[in-house]
Amino acid sequence: MLNQSQINAEKTNSIVNDNWWKGGVIYQVYPRSYQDSNGDGVGDLTGITQRLPYIASLGVDAVWVSPFFKSPMKDFGYDVSDYCAIDPMFGTMDDFDTMLAEAHNLGLRIMVDLVLSHTSDQHAWFNESRTDHTNPKNDWYVWADAKPDGTPPNNWLSMFGGSSWQWDGRREQYFLHNFLSNQPDLNIHSLDVQDALLDVVRFWLDKGVDGFRLDTINFFIHDKLLRDNPPLPEQERNHSIATKVNPYNWQNHIYSKSQPENIAFLERIRNLTDQYENCACLGEIGDAQRGMQLLGEYTSGDKRIHMCYAFEFLENRPATAQWVKTVFDKIDIEAPDGWVCWAFSNHDVERLTSRWSLNNLSKYTYAMLLHSVRGSVCIYQGEELGLMESEVNFEDLRDPYGIEFWPEYKGRDGCRTPMVWQANAVNAGFSTEKTWLPVCAEQSQQAVDIQESDVDSLLHFFRKAIALRKALPVLQTGTQISTDARGGLLSFIREDDSSCLYCAFNLSDEVLEFSLPLGNWQNINQNMGKLCVNPIESNKLGPWQFCFALKNTNN
């Protein structure tokens, strides 16, 4: 394979992206829990390769692979000690190359999860930075003197509890860590640090990856003056992703993250990725107060991040009709030119089925809703099976977040337990040996092999929903207008230059009436099952039913 840098050396900023990401569907794989290929109880890259045909069968466009870089695993790969090396737990660089090649053979793109805001404290950069105040990397991390009484420089708090400052005796200074104390924050105000991180991006682009999921992109830049964060009013804490038992949720983090200088660095990332054909970046924005505003700023135009995923539907509140309307009204105001990638689940939140108390009908309805709204889509492994949250005993916990706040908050292990492939196999087909987290017996009854044999299963329905999205370009890139909520009835119109699609969802247990707008509409059923109503023949939706009607706007 030719080196991509050589191919693109004379074509900087001249390649036209085919925009596969705009309206695309991305499947997230958490490597530790997807498939163990070597019998050590931990998933690996070869295991992912073995399961790529299954992922391709879903009809998705890309696979987001959570971190597999060399790491001491204090935060399970989100604490990187070498950005350009594979942790032996997951395999070798040859294993990665094989996975990438097989994905491409199957028509899948690979998006690597890059953690650029911080490293492990075992990274060579940090080891050099902490030696003294004069070494070449002395300012590569966020160092600050103690207050006169020896306490931390300000009141900033860590996402994982306690102060976000850790004392280092070698430098006799504090260093910033927004997450674990083993995860020191890089000083991205430094252009040398930016250049080093861009070299990491370039390394993986040259390997042939198709894009990146960029972890916590609004944490890249901190306030240079280290000003204290103000308190967050108590009434605004209720639905935050951060658990209420964590005082992190008591601050308005206007200085510790989400700084305006961040945009210049994001533009440097986009400028580099645009030098590679059909590459896309998906940013994670973690800001409960200004998330949608930042999404609008970070994805506006064609010089910043391609898309960002929003946390509104990852919160603890269900996506009621009114809440969906509220979110899209907010988008229209704060991110009219932005591009959202919607997720109902990921590796950091309780599984959707449990978090929203879904039943056997509502699982299907929310799956269809996810693939109908404007934006791109992320599916977290097992979401297509409707898996519930696993109950993990304290002695089996691995997540430092859960260990810190148990039992009021049980952490993220419950959504990270191994994927269930075969109901009656050892460890549900994930591994032949003791697994790093226990396999959930209840989840095993929803295993892939059981759902493959049932044409009415949620797994088959996900395939149909994705296929419908691909069959109707208006669902991929069309605008969304006339979003309305009346009780449990949610309706909106997707529109592009050639077609108009009316969508209505009954997000309740009641029978509700809807009104199809005037026009020459046609029913769109596409064999979506009993929950999909023909709106030409009926104006009623039973509990958790939905309907689609299409008309051509060229006439």
Question: Given a cut of 90, is residue 235 above it in pLDDT?
Answer: no
Segment 146-161 shows an average pLDDT of 96
Beta-sheet strands, E only, within 207-331: 211-214, 280-284, 307-309
Contact (Cβ atoms closer than 8 angstroms) between residue 95 and residue 35? no
Q: Which of 215, 297, 348, 384 is catalytic?
A: 215
Task: Locate all alpha helices (DSSP H) within 406-540, ordered by sequence.
Answer: 441-444, 448-452, 458-471, 473-477
pLDDT at 242: 56
**Segment 386-411, tens digit of pLDDT:** 999 999 999 999 999 999 999 988 99
**Segment 534-550, tens digit of pLDDT:** 999 999 999 999 999 99
> What confidence tier does 241 reach under pLDDT thresholds 50, 70, 90?
low
**Segment 82-130, tens digit of pLDDT:** 999 999 999 999 999 999 999 999 999 999 999 999 999 999 999 999 9
Q: Which residue has the tokens 């090396």?
A: 85
- Confirm or reject CATH 3.40.190.80 for domain 4-117+191-467, answering yes or no: no
Q: Rounded to whole angstroms, what are the CA distances from 504 to 259, 489, 533, 545, 547?
A: 39, 7, 10, 9, 5
Identify whether 215 is a catalytic site residue.
yes
Q: Which residue has the tokens 């200085």?
A: 255
**Segment 419-432, tens digit of pLDDT:** 999 999 999 999 99
Question: Given a cut of 80, is residue 244 above it in pLDDT?
Answer: no
pLDDT at 554: 73
Token pair listed for 208:
């042939």
Task: Locate all alpha helices (DSSP H) within 15-62, ordered by sequence.
Answer: 45-58
Question: Given a cut of 50, is residue 6 above it in pLDDT?
Answer: no
Question: Given a cut of 70, is residue 274 above it in pLDDT?
Answer: yes
Collapsing DSSP states into helix, strand and coil, what is residue 132?
A: coil
Q: Which of 75, 87, 210, 284 is catalytic?
A: 284
Beta-sheet strands, E only, within 478-529: 479-486, 489-495, 499-506, 512-513, 522-523
CATH of domain 478-552: 2.60.40.1180
Segment 180-193 shows an average pLDDT of 98
Domain-wise residue ranges, the chain: 4-117+191-467, 478-552
> What confidence tier does 13 reach under pLDDT thresholds 50, 70, 90?
very low
Same fold: 4-117+191-467 with 478-552:
no
Worst-scoring range by mean pLDDT, 69-73, 452-456, 481-485, 517-521? 517-521
Check: pTM over 0.85? Answer yes or no.
yes
Q: Which residue has the tokens 């530790």?
A: 32
**Distance of alpha carbon 403 from alpha carbon 246, whole angstroms:** 13
Contact (Cβ atoms closer than 8 angstroms) between residue 474 and residue 500? yes
For CA atoms 101, 102, 103, 105, the dihedral sign is positive
Segment 285-314 shows an average pLDDT of 94
Contact (Cβ atoms closer than 8 angstroms) between residue 299 and residue 308? yes
Collapsing DSSP states into helix, strand and coil, what is residue 26?
A: strand
pLDDT at 237: 76
Question: Given a cut of 70, is residue 61 above it in pLDDT?
Answer: yes
* Mean pLDDT computed over every residue of the chain: 94
**Distance of alpha carbon 472 from alpha carbon 454, whole angstroms:** 26
- DSSP state letter for 488: T
- Strand 211-214 versus strand 280-284 pairing type: parallel
> What confidence tier does 73 reach under pLDDT thresholds 50, 70, 90?
very high
> What confidence tier does 243 reach under pLDDT thresholds 50, 70, 90?
low
- Strand 62-65 versus strand 25-29 pairing type: parallel
Contact (Cβ atoms closer than 8 angstroms) between residue 456 and residue 529? yes
Between 289 and 369, the more confident residue is: 369
**Distance of alpha carbon 328 from alpha carbon 338, whole angstroms:** 12
**Distance of alpha carbon 447 from alpha carbon 366, whole angstroms:** 20
- Tally of CA atoms within 13 A in the half-sphere of 252 that contains its CB: 10
Q: Rounded to whole angstroms, what are the CA distances from 382 to 30, 416, 422?
A: 10, 10, 13
Question: Given a cut of 60, is residue 193 above it in pLDDT?
Answer: yes
pLDDT at 239: 54
pLDDT at 17: 42
pLDDT at 12: 35
Segment 430-439 shows an average pLDDT of 98
pLDDT at 238: 61
pLDDT at 288: 84
Task: Report the amino acid identity of residue 242.
Answer: A
